A = this chain, B = another copy of it.
């Protein structure tokens, strides 16, 4: 490689690392705001966020960036660049194109619209009145339709939005897998509601002191292989995990003293996200590749640990005794099997974030179908409450009695996030497929959980998923590991087997 090109490559990486540094500072600011920043400092902190993010945005669309892309995309360059640089360039180009194609003035208006829409949504939800929010949602949808035109699309217009969160996953793919999933889950939910062997859950709601929940959660994080020299656990209102860099990946949780499940399963879930970020290859630090490859693959890690580890019988064979030690006598006289059944109770409900493992995908599918309809001009915003309620009734057998517990429950649309919801269910399917592959390498998976030896599981994921960061695309990871594309059957088989057992369904209705 010639010297000039080498120098350009280095300068480009330095430029990108500077953006990475600003983003790391921003992540710390967000973490701080959500874990105890004094409230009177928030206004000024918001200014700081504005300055830093607009600087990153400017850099990503700068002439300097354009020049790097041009210089490094030539044929000679492509052949001699470092493999990581090639991927970094690809990411940078994608972002450059995406940001540059929207006229600056229009983007500015959109940012203002987003922020207004969020505060109107809040009010609308409080008053449970969709009509307040409707004009803003209409504008947000219109704006995104224009963006789709600017960005272009292949096949279905909605594909362009899906691509923002789950590169490579299209409407064709989702129609197939979500269709199958829906057709499998809906009857299972019905069988369960008719089961005459429902678990007793009364003992779940006793007092479990916060500090004890925290201590138990820390034990579980340790068991999962979460590295406390590269992280910490804090309290927050809406739990999240955040990777500042692989050596600093923080988990947050919240405590409900009348329901320990909030903290315990919440921590395991965020811990799954955190394991991903802690184990990305150090070679990627400071580059835009040093994060999870997509929302869906990220969610596969959190859901794997939350459900396939945390809600499994083997895991509790190891940990139920420990839980009892921390609890205040709450589980005295409760058998392991009854405990296991209780924490796996499934009941159709109206609110997505409170949904159980089995019904959760249906909440996502409702949103997917609505978004797809909106961006293909088959659904109008004004009809959303009615469409929402009817779908809930059809798929889950429950009908919202007002907008707050219906179409207004999530903030996503108010923030202009369309195409995001499918990731939640995708993650679930990825997780089920990955588990199938993992079992081939670790056939003694259940025994490992019973021993509390989760290290081989973490190592398997690091080897097959974590280390790559964004070096591989989501479907590339899936195919490399499982040898096949996305499917719904792994997940639906798992759900049939598990819930058939928990609800003691007859073979015929499984």
- Which residues of A come within 8 Å of B, CB atoms? 17-18, 21-22, 24-25, 28-29, 32, 36-45, 47-48, 51-52, 55, 227-232, 244-250, 285-286
Contact = CB atoms under 8 A, between A and B. Distances in A.
Contacts of A51: 17-18, 21-22
A40 B232 contact: no
B21 A230 contact: no
B24 A45 contact: yes
Contact of A247 (B38, B55, B244, B250): B38
A365 to B, nearest CB: 38
Contact of A248 (B40, B227, B230, B232): B40
Q: Which of A40, A41, A43, A230 has the most CB of B within 10 A?
A: A41
Q: Which of A17, A228, A248 has the most CB of B within 10 A?
A: A248
Contacts of A47: 17, 21, 286
A448 to B, nearest CB: 26
A467 to B, nearest CB: 16
A25 B38 contact: no
Contacts of A247: 38-44
For the complex of A and B, 10 pairs with smallest distance between CB atoms: A41-B248, A40-B247, A41-B247, A21-B51, A44-B245, A40-B230, A21-B48, A25-B25, A38-B248, A24-B48
A232 B45 contact: no
Nearest to A231: B38
A358 to B, nearest CB: 36
A45 B27 CA distance: 12
A37 B231 CA distance: 8
Q: Which of A40, A45, A231 has the most CB of B within 10 A?
A: A40
Contacts of A248: 37-38, 40-41, 44-45
A230 B28 contact: no
A36 B232 contact: yes
A24 B38 contact: no
Contact of A244 (B45, B227, B231): B45
Contacts of A45: 24, 244-245, 248
A53 to B, nearest CB: 11
A245 B22 CA distance: 19
Q: Which of A37, A229, A247 has the most CB of B within 10 A?
A: A247
Q: Which of A18, A36, A232 has the most CB of B within 10 A?
A: A18
Contacts of A227: 40
A228 B37 CA distance: 10
Contacts of A230: 38, 40-41
Contacts of A44: 24, 244-245, 247-248, 285-286
Nearest to A26: B25
Contacts of A43: 247
Given A40-B248, A45-B248, 4 more contacts: A24-B45, A25-B25, A25-B29, A38-B249
A214 to B, nearest CB: 15
A98 to B, nearest CB: 24
Q: Which of A18, A21, A38, A250 has the most CB of B within 10 A?
A: A38
A39 B231 CA distance: 8
Contacts of A24: 44-45, 48
Q: Which of A18, A39, A51 has the most CB of B within 10 A?
A: A51
Nearest to A50: B21
A102 to B, nearest CB: 24
Contacts of A229: 38-40
29 contacts: A17-B51, A18-B55, A21-B48, A21-B51, A21-B52, A22-B51, A24-B44, A24-B45, A24-B48, A25-B28, A25-B48, A25-B52, A28-B29, A28-B32, A32-B32, A37-B248, A38-B229, A38-B230, A38-B248, A39-B229, A40-B229, A40-B246, A40-B248, A41-B244, A41-B248, A43-B247, A44-B285, A45-B244, A45-B245
Nearest to A32: B28
